[in-house]
Amino acid sequence: MKKIIIAAFAIMLLASTAMAADNLDRCYYSMDNNGDSVLSNEEFKVALPNSDKAFIAADVDKSGDLNHDEWESYKKTIGIEENHG
């Protein structure tokens, strides 16, 4: 019985983590709400509310904003290839 409870808890924990994750395979320009070709932290949070760590990792120059190259380079490092076609 104890093993079943532990297993059920582990499954619930994994499921809640998966549900909270954002799909990072997003087009940069679709997240740039004001069209200025700069992705602000605020715009990023609207598009990907559960991905603060991704923004921090992608912001290589630590400017507080993302440019297209930073976002696409970050996606490539996590195994997501650019596909705008």
Range of the domain at 55: 23-85
Residue 2 lies in a domain: no
pLDDT at 10: 53
Angle, vertex CA 40, rays to CA 35 and CA 42, nearest 5 = 110
Nearest of 82, 50, 80, 45 to residue 65 by alpha carbon: 45
The answer for residues whose C-beta is within 8 angstroms of residue 30's C-beta and 6 or more apart is: 47
Q: What are phi and psi of 65, to 5 degrees?
A: -130, 160
Structure tokens that stand for 66 in this block: 């993302």
Can you tell me the distance from the alpha carbon of 13 to that of 67, in angstroms, rounded to the nearest whole number?
A: 34
What pTM was estimated for this model as a whole? Answer: 0.72
pLDDT tens digit at each of 85 positions of the chain = 777 766 555 565 444 434 457 999 999 999 999 999 999 999 999 999 999 999 999 999 999 999 999 999 999 999 998 766 5
Any idea what the CATH number is for the domain that residue 66 is in? 1.10.238.10
Residue 58 lies in a domain: yes
Q: Tally the domains of the chain.
A: 1
